[in-house]
C-alpha cells in the first residue's frame, strides 16, 4: 500500500458529517517525514475537524485515512481539564506514554516551563498550559505531530520562540507535522505545504503558490496575500539603511 516510505498519514477525499451538516469534505492531503503541512482557513472552515480525521478521532468519515505510524503527539485546540482530578505537570507529561525523567525535563526546558514541573496543572495560566501541552507532545519523540493552534495565549516573544522550536523539532526528529496556524509568517517561513480550507480544500500547494491563488485572496483578502508574498520577497534581498536593495 505504502509506496512511499516517508508517508505518515494520508487523507483521501476525506470528510466528516455531524447531524446532516458537513463540517468538512473532500480533503486530500499527505504528511511526510520531516515535512510541515499547514492548514489555514477562516473560523469554522474545518481545520480542527481535518486534524481530528487525520488522528482517527472521528470514526464515521467519508473517504479514507491511511495512517502509517502509531507514534503520535497531539496538541488539541481546546482542552478542558476537570479539576476534580489532582494532577501535576509531571503526571500530565506521563499521561499517554511512560517516558524517562530526562526526556521530560528536556522537553519542559525547551518550551521554557521546567520550573512548573511540580505545579498543579490547574494553577497554570493559559500560556503556561499551552507550553506544557507542546512539551508533552514533543517529549514522546513522535513521528507525527499534530498541532492545533499550538501557541494560542502565548506571549508574542514566546510565540516566535515556540514556532522556531517546532521547526527545529521537525528537522531534528525528522517527524512530520500537521499544523493549524493563523500566523502567516510562520506559514511562510517554515511550512512545506499549505492547505487552505473553507469547508473544502479551496487551494493548496507551496506557501507562495497559495498566496498568489485568487481563491485565497478572496478568502483572506489582498492584505494577507501581500504578507505572504512580501515575506518571500524578503528572502532574496535585503534593504540597506538607505533603502537600496541588495541581492543576497
Partner 1 sequence: MFDDFFIRALVAGIGIAFVTGPLGCFVVWRRLSYFGDTLAHSALLGVTMAYTFDLNIAISVFLISSVIALILIQLQKKTNLPGDALLGLLAHSSLAVGLVVIGFLTFIRFDIMGLLFGDILAVTTDDLFVIWTGGALILIVLKLIWKPLLASTVNYELAEAEGLNPDRAKAIFTILMAAVIAISIKMVGLLLITGMLIIPAAMARNISDSPQKMVLFSIIGGLLSVILGLYSSLEFNTSSGPSIIAAALILFILSLFKIKQSIKLKN
Query: Which residues contribute to the site for partner 1 (CB under 8 A)?
Result: 52, 55-57, 70, 72-74, 76, 79-82, 84-88, 90-92, 95-97, 120, 140, 146
Cβ atoms of 213 and 221 within 8 Å: the answer is: no
> Nearest 5°: phi and psi at 228?
-65, -45
The least CB distance from residue 239 to partner 1, in Å, is 44
Please report the DSSP string for the chain in residue order: --SSTTEEEEEEEEEEEETTEEEEEEEEEEEETT-EEEEE-STTSSHHHHHHHHHT---S-EEEEEE--S-EEEE-S-----TTS--BHHHHHTSSS---HHHHHHHHHHTT-GGGTTSBGGG--HHHHHHHHHHHHHHT--SEEEEESTTTT--HHHHHHHHHHHHHHHHHS--EEEEE---HHHHHHH-SEEEEESSSEEEEESHHHHHH-HHHHHHH-HHHHHHHHHHHHHHHEEE-TTS-EEE-
The least CB distance from residue 141 to partner 1, in Å, is 13
The least CB distance from residue 136 to partner 1, in Å, is 9
Other CB atoms within 10 Å distance of the CB of residue 149? 19
Closer Cβ to partner 1, 83 or 235, answer by number: 83
The least CB distance from residue 72 to partner 1, in Å, is 5
The least CB distance from residue 113 to partner 1, in Å, is 18
Closer Cβ to partner 1, 91 or 155, answer by number: 91
Closer Cβ to partner 1, 1 or 85, answer by number: 85
Closer Cβ to partner 1, 74 or 163, answer by number: 74
The least CB distance from residue 115 to partner 1, in Å, is 17
Cα–Cα distance, 172 to 150 (Å, whole number) = 19
Closer Cβ to partner 1, 133 or 151, answer by number: 133
The least CB distance from residue 73 to partner 1, in Å, is 7
Amino acid at each position: 500500500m505504502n509506496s512511499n516510505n516517508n508517508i505518515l498519514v494520508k487523507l483521501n477525499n476525506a470528510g466528516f458529517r455531524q447531524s446532516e451538516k458537513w463540517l468538512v469534505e473532500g480533503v486530500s492531503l499527505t504528511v511526510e517525514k520531516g515535512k510541515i503541512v499547514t492548514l489555514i482557513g477562516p473560523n469554522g472552515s474545518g481545520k480542527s475537524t481535518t486534524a481530528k480525521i487525520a488522528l482517527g478521532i472521528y470514526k464515521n468519515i467519508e473517504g479514507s485515512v491511511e495512517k502509517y505510524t502509531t507514534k503520535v503527539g497531539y496538541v488539541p485546540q481546546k482542552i478542558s481539564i476537570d479539576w476534580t482530578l489532582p494532577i501535576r505537570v509531571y503526571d500530565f507529561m506521563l499521561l499517554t506514554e511512560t517516558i524517562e525523567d530526562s526526556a521530560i525535563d528536556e522537553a519542559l526546558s525547551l518550551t521554557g516551563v521546567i520550573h512548573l514541573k511540580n505545579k498543579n496543572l490547574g494553577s497554570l495560566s493559559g500560556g503556561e498550559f499551552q507550553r506544557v501541552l507542546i512539551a508533552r507532545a514533543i517529549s514522546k519523540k513522535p513521528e507525527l505531530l499534530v498541532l492545533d493552534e499550538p501557541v494560542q495565549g502565548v506571549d508574542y516573544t514566546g510565540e516566535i520562540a515556540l514556532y522556531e522550536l517546532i521547526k527545529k523539532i521537525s528537522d531534528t526528529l525528522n517527524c512530520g507535522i500537521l499544523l493549524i496556524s493563523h500566523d502567516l509568517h510562520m506559514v511562510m517561513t517554515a511550512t512545506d505545504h499549505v492547505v487552505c480550507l473553507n469547508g473544502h480544500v479551496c487551494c493548496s500547494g507551496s506557501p507562495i503558490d497559495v498566496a498568489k491563488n485568487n481563491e485565497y485572496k478572496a478568502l483572506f483578502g489582498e492584505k494577507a496575500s501581500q504578507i505572504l508574498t512580501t515575506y518571500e520577497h524578503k528572502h532574496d534581498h535585503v534593504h540597506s539603511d538607505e533603502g537600496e536593495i541588495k541581492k543576497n
